[in-house]
Structure formats: structure tokens, C-alpha cells
Amino acid sequence: MPDLLLYYAHPGHRHSRVNRRMYESASDVNDITLVDLYAEYPRNNINVEKEQTRLLEHNIIVFQFPLFWYSSPALIKQWQDLVLEYGFAYGPNGTSLVGKSLALAITAGGPEDAYTHTGYQKHELRTFLTPLEQTAKLCGMHFMLPYVLYSTLVVNDDTIEAHVNGYIRYLNELKSNPEPFDSLGKAQSVLDHHSVLSSYGEE
């Protein structure tokens, strides 16, 4: 049984410079199941039973997506609304996901310094991820160290290549040494792009 389940959600996949390459590179990781949500559900008719079975069969779930309007693409929210049912993912008998891990691989068009209290986004990136973080906690899951790339609208090919290579290392690290969001010192600044790359991409 594969350890890792990667959900990819990008409605503009064919135009993507970074996410497309990240997703394609993930096939090089052993024991991984890849799901392109927009390809699998072009009419948004999510198969709840199929998705719940996938969750039961894996211990680590990753959502990979570009940040759209301070959130994930819409299909991820629909997936959450339908798949994470009362009695399955939460509630008195909803213990199916307890002890599993949720990780995020995110790209943002804006620069890193925009995601500060003094930057033009006025908030740290973690603030915009609160719904997913709290979803994980409500379901009894561990919310893991995310993998982030900023300034994707202007990054050069060398940066993309380094980030893609780092993504493979990151996914392998999730399997061998999972690290909850605030468990260790380097996770305190997890949404600092450079700290993420130094941990997983460029050492």
C-alpha cells in the first residue's frame, strides 16, 4: 500500500510553469498515489466513497495547489465539503483520519515579503492557511511542514528546477521523518521560503 496520497488541484494546469513540473516530478517518488482532481472530476462530481477509500488506504495526504485569492482552488473546498463527512472525518464516531498527516505544497505569485504584517498582503501566509490547518486538527490529523514557493510569476528556470528537486526530497522526507508544523525550531518559520528550501531543497 502506498504511504503517500498526493492531491493536485490546478485549474490552469496546462499553463503552469511550476506546479505542472512539481506534479510530474512526484511520480519519481516511491510508494505514492497521484490524483489530479481537475482531471479526474472535470464536472466537479466528486466520488465520495472512492475518495474516502483513498484516505483510508494512506497515512500521509498532501494537497498541492497554487494560492488563488488567498485560498485553495475551489475544487479542494468542494472535496472537503463532500468527502470529510460527519461520522467519517469528525464527530463522535468520525475517527477515520485520526493519526494521519496532512501536508501542503503551495505556490504564491507574490513575493515572500508581501506575506508579512507590513507587506501588501497584510498577513503572514499561515493566516491564509488557517482553514486547512484547523480542518486537519478537527479530523485528528497532524498538520505538517508545508513546502512553499513565492514569486512564481517571475522566478527563473534555475529556481524552478531547484524547487522541483526539493519537492522530491520533501515528499520523501514526509514519509521517513514527518514533522508537525510547530514541533521543531525550523518549523517555527516554516512559511519562510528560504528555510523550507534549506531544509529540503538545496542542502
Instruction: Look at residue 44 in the predicted model and tell me its pLDDT.
Output: 94
Q: What is the mean pLDDT of the chain?
A: 85
Q: Is the per-residue pLDDT at 202 higher than 50?
A: no
Q: Is the per-residue pLDDT at 203 higher than 90?
A: no
Instruction: Look at residue 8 in the predicted model and tell me its pLDDT.
Output: 97
| Residue 1 binned pLDDT confidence (cut-offs 50, 70, 90) | low
Delimit the domains of the chain by residue range: 4-200
Q: Which fold has domain 4-200?
A: Rossmann fold (3.40.50)
pTM: 0.87
Q: What are phi and psi of 196, to 5 degrees?
A: -65, -45
| pLDDT tens figures, 29-70 | 999 999 999 999 999 999 999 999 999 999 999 999 999 888
User: Are the C-beta atoms of 76 and 63 separated by less than 8 Å?
Assistant: yes
The DSSP string of the chain is --SEEEEE--TTGGG-SSHHHHHHHGGGSSSEEEEEHHHH-TT----HHHHHHHHHT-SEEEEEEE-BTTB--HHHHHHHHHHS-BTTTBSTT--TTTT-EEEEEEE-SS-GGGSSTTSTT-S-HHHHTHHHHHHHHHTTPEEB--EEE--TTT--HHHHHHHHHHHHHHHHHHHHS--BTTSSHHHHTTT-HHHHHHHHT--
Instruction: Look at residue 12 in the predicted model and tell me its pLDDT.
Output: 76
Strand 147-149 relative to strand 142-143, pairing = unpaired
| pLDDT tens figures, 88-131 | 999 999 999 999 999 999 998 787 878 888 888 888 888 889 99
Instruction: Look at residue 113 in the predicted model and tell me its pLDDT.
Output: 79
Instruction: Look at residue 195 in the predicted model and tell me its pLDDT.
Output: 39
Instruction: Look at residue 179 in the predicted model and tell me its pLDDT.
Output: 62
